[in-house]
C-alpha cells in the first residue's frame, strides 16, 4: 500500500460530510460513561472502539437509516439489554445489528490472471533465498529467545461473517465478554464498511493471503507457532544448506521449542469419559506468551482473559516433537482416544458445534476445535475446521506404530471417519470455498493436505491399505492439485501464496515444471520485507470472531518460503 493511498484515504475519512447517526452518536450516551450493568461492555467500547484514532476516522461517518427514530431506538434498546440484563437474550439483541450487517458488501480477493513466466529461477537463486530465510529465523530466535508471531485486528471483519453468521456466533459463544466483543466489533464493522475509512482500514492487496500492514500488531509466543517453526528449522537442516554454526543453533532452538510445547504449554484436562489427559494449550499462562505489559492488559480488557487448549495445537505440538525425535512420555498418550470424544458422529452429537459458521459442509467424522479446560470452561463455544483435521491425521500417521492405530479398531475407526470427512469436502469442492474454513485459507488447506499426504506416503504399503482401502487420499490429491495448478498459480500471487503453492505441489509429487510461477514470485519478491526480514508479514491463520484477527509475521513468511523452496529444490535435484 503506497503512501499516496494512505494519505488520500485518511484525508477522505477525516473530511467526509456526515449524513446520519454515527457510531459514537449511537453508543456514547449508553457506554462511554455507563451508569451500571455489565462493566465489561463499557470498558470494551472505550478501549476498542472509543479510542481517539478510530474516533477521528469514524466520527463523520453516519448511517442515514438510523435517523429514523424507531430504528435508532431499537438498536439502542439492544445495547441497553446487552449492558443491563442479567441473562441477555442474545438472539434478540443481535437482530437489529444483523440486519445492518447485511447492508455491507465485502468480497474475498479474486486475483487477476497472471502471465506465466518464461523460466524459473536458477537453483543458486533458490538456495540463496533458503539460506536467507533460515538465517532470519535463527537471528530472530537469538534476539528474542523465541521466534515471534504477531496478531493484528482488521476491523472491517471477514467477508463470510454476515448477519446470519453473526447471530450464530453471538448465540453459540459461551463467554459473556466474548459475546460483548463480538457484538460491538460487528456493530463497528457496519460503520467502517460504509465509510471512506474503509479504504484505509481494508486496502486492496496482491494475491490471496492478506498482508498484515496494520500498525498495531501484538507480538506473542504460542506452542502452535513453536511447533511450526520447529518443522521449518528441521527442514532447513535437512537441505544441508545450513552452516555448521547454523545447524548447531537450529538444534538448540528446536530443543527449546519442543520443551516449550510439551512442558511449558502442557495442560491437564479430562477426556469426555472423565479420564485425565495431557494436552497442549495454544496460549500458556503469563509470562510465557511474551506479551508486552501494555498488550497483556488490553487482552484482559477486551475479554480474552480465559484461553483454553485446542485440538490443533495439541496435534501440531505432538507432531513436531515426534519429528524432532523427542522421547517425552506425553507422546505415549494415544491422542485418538481423546479426539474420539470430540468427533462428530452422525447427528447424535452435532451440538458439539455451537458456532457453525461453515455449515455449508457436512461435519460427520470431523473433530471440533476447542477442548474444555479442567474447570469445564469453553469460552469460544466450539467450531469445526477442516485443516485442523488434517493435522490430526498427520500426527496419527507419524505415531501409527506407537499408538497401535491399526491394531486398535476404535482408533482406526476415528482415523477413517476423519478421512471420510475430508473426502466429502473434496468431492463437494467445498475445500476451495473460503466459507468452508474457520481459521485458514483454502490455499493453506491445500498446503497442509500436502504435508498430511507426505506423512501418509511414508507409511508401509500395507498400513496405507488398512487406513485407506477406498483410495480417498489419491482422490483428494487429484482435486487439490487441480485447484493449485488450475487456479492458485495461474493468478497474481504474493510470496506467501507462492510458498503455499510450492508446499502443496512439492508434497503431492507435481511435475517440477509447474513450480515455475511460484518460484518466480518468491525470488522476485525477496527483500520486500525491508529491515524486518526478507519478506513481508501475511495472513497465516485468522479468527472470524469477534472480528477478523490475522496471525502471521515476517518470520512466519520466511518459514513457509523456506519449506516451500526446500521441497522444490529437492524435486529439482531429483530430476537433475
Higher pLDDT among residues 347 and 158, named by residue: 158
Contacts of 328 (CB under 8 A, 6+ apart): 258, 262, 263, 321
User: C-alpha grid cell for residue 56?
Assistant: 477521528
Contact 146, 260 (CB under 8 A): yes
Model pLDDT, residue 291 = 63
- Average pLDDT of span 397-419: 98
- SS3 call for 309: coil
Mind listing the pLDDT tens digit for each residue in 359-374? 999 999 999 999 988 7
User: C-alpha grid cell for residue 140?
Assistant: 530472530
Model pLDDT, residue 101 = 97
pLDDT, mean over the chain: 92
Mind listing the pLDDT tens digit for each residue in 255-292? 999 999 999 999 999 998 889 999 999 887 777 666 66
Q: What backbone phi and psi angles, to 5 degrees, belong to 191?
A: -70, -35
Q: How confident is the model at residue 378 (pLDDT cuts 50, 70, 90)?
A: confident
Model pLDDT, residue 35 = 81
Is 1.50.10.20 the CATH number for 123-154+202-575? yes
- Average pLDDT of span 420-432: 98
Mind listing the pLDDT tens digit for each residue in 80-134? 999 999 999 999 999 999 999 999 999 999 999 999 898 889 999 999 999 999 9
The domains of the chain are located at: 3-109+161-199, 123-154+202-575
Tell me the sheet residues that pair with 62: 22
Q: Indicate whether 306 pLDDT > 70.
A: no
- SS3 call for 211: strand
pTM given for the model: 0.94
Model pLDDT, residue 284 = 72
Return the percentage of the chain with pLDDT > 90, whole number.
78
Mind listing the pLDDT tens digit for each residue in 320-337? 999 999 999 999 999 999
Q: How confident is the model at residue 465 (pLDDT cuts 50, 70, 90)?
A: very high
User: C-alpha grid cell for residue 131?
Assistant: 539460506
Model pLDDT, residue 283 = 80
Element (DSSP H or E) covering residue 277? strand 276-280
Contact 536, 554 (CB under 8 A): yes
Model pLDDT, residue 57 = 86
User: C-alpha grid cell for residue 349?
Assistant: 452429537
Mind listing the pLDDT tens digit for each residue in 344-357? 987 655 578 999 99
Model pLDDT, residue 573 = 96
User: C-alpha grid cell for residue 53?
Assistant: 484514532
Amino acid at each position: 500500500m503506497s503512501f499516496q493511498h494512505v494519505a488520500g484515504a485518511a484525508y477522505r475519512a477525516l473530511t467526509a460530510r456526515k449524513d446520519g447517526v454515527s457510531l459514537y452518536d449511537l453508543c456514547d450516551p449508553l457506554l462511554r460513561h455507563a451508569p451500571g450493568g455489565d462493566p465489561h461492555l463499557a470498558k470494551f467500547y472505550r478501549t476498542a472502539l472509543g479510542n481517539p484514532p478510530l474516533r477521528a476516522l469514524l466520527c463523520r461517518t453516519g448511517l442515514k437509516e438510523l435517523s429514523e427514530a424507531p430504528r435508532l431506538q431499537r438498536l439502542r434498546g439492544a445495547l441497553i439489554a446487552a449492558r443491563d440484563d442479567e441473562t441477555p437474550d442474545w438472539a434478540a439483541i443481535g437482530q437489529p445489528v444483523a440486519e445492518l450487517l447485511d447492508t455491507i458488501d465485502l468480497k474475498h480477493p479474486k486475483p487477476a490472471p497472471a502471465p506465466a513466466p518464461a523460466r524459473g529461477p536458477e537453483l543458486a537463486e533458490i538456495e540463496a533465498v533458503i539460506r536467507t530465510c533460515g538465517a532470519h529465523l535463527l537471528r530472530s530466535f537469538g534476539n528474542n529467545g523465541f521466534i515471534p508471531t504477531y496478531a493484528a485486528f482488521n476491523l472491517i471483519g471477514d467477508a463470510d461473517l454476515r448477519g446470519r453468521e453473526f447471530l450464530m456466533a453471538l448465540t453459540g459463544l459461551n463467554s459473556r465478554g466474548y459475546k460483548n466483543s463480538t457484538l460491538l466489533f460487528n456493530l463497528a464493522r457496519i460503520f467502517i464498511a460504509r465509510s471512506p475509512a474503509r479504504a484505509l482500514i481494508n486496502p486492496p492487496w496482491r494475491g490471496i493471503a492478506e498482508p498484515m500492514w496494520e500498525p498495531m500488531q501484538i507480538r506473542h509466543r504460542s506452542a502452535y507457532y513453536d511447533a511450526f517453526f520447529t518443522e521449518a528449522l528441521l527442514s532447513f537442516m535437512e537441505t544441508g544448506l545450513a552452516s555448521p554454526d547454523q545447524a548447531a543453533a537450529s538444534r538448540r532452538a528446536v530443543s527449546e521449542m519442543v520443551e516449550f510445547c510439551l512442558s511449558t504449554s502442557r495442560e491437564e484436562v479430562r477426556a469426555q469419559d472423565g479420564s485425565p489427559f495431557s494436552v497442549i494449550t495454544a496460549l500458556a499462562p503469563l509470562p510465557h506468551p511474551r506479551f508486552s505489559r501494555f498488550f497483556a492488559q488490553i487482552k484482559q480488557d477486551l475479554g480474552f482473559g480465559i484461553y483454553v487448549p485446542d485440538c490443533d495445537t495439541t496435534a501440531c505440538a505432538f507432531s513436531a516433537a515426534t519429528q524432532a525425535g523427542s522421547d517425552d512420555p506425553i507422546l505415549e498418550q494415544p491422542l485418538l482416544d481423546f479426539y474420539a470424544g470430540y468427533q462428530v458422529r452422525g447427528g447424535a452429537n452435532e451440538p458439539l458445534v455451537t458456532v457453525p459458521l461453515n455449515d455449508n459442509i457436512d461435519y460427520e467424522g470431523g473433530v471440533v476445535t476447542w477442548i474444555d479446560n479442567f474447570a469445564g470452561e469453553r469460552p469460544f463455544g466450539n467450531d469445526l475446521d477442516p485443516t485442523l483435521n488434517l493435522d490430526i491425521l498427520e500426527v496419527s500417521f507419524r505415531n501409527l506404530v506407537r499408538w497401535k492405530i491399526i491394531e486398535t479398531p476404535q482408533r482406526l475407526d476415528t482415523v477413517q471417519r476423519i478421512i471420510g470427512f475430508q473426502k466429502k469436502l473434496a468431492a463437494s469442492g467445498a475445500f476451495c470455498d473460503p466459507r468452508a474454513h474457520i481459521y485458514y485459507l483454502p490455499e493453506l488447506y491445500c498446503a497442509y493436505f500436502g504435508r498430511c499426504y507426505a506423512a501418509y506416503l511414508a507409511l508401509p504399503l500395507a498400513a496405507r491399505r488398512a487406513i485407506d482401502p477406498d483410495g480417498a487420499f489419491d482422490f483428494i490429491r487429484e482435486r487439490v492439485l487441480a485447484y493449485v495448478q488450475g487456479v492458485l498459480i495461474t493468478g497474481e500471487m504474493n510470496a506467501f501464496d507462492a510458498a503455499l503453492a510450492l508446499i502443496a505441489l512439492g508434497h503431492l509429487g507435481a511435475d517440477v515444471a509447474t513450480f515455475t510461477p511460484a518460484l518466480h514470485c518468491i525470488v522476485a519478491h525477496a527483500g520486500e520485507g525491508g529491515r524486518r526480514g526478507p519478506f513481508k508479514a501475511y495472513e497465516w491463520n485468522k479468527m472470524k470472531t469477534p472480528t477478523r484477527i490475522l496471525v502471521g509475521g515476517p518470520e512466519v513468511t520466511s518459514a513457509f518460503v523456506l519449506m516451500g523452496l526446500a521441497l522444490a529444490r529437492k524435486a529439482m535435484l531429483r530430476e537433475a
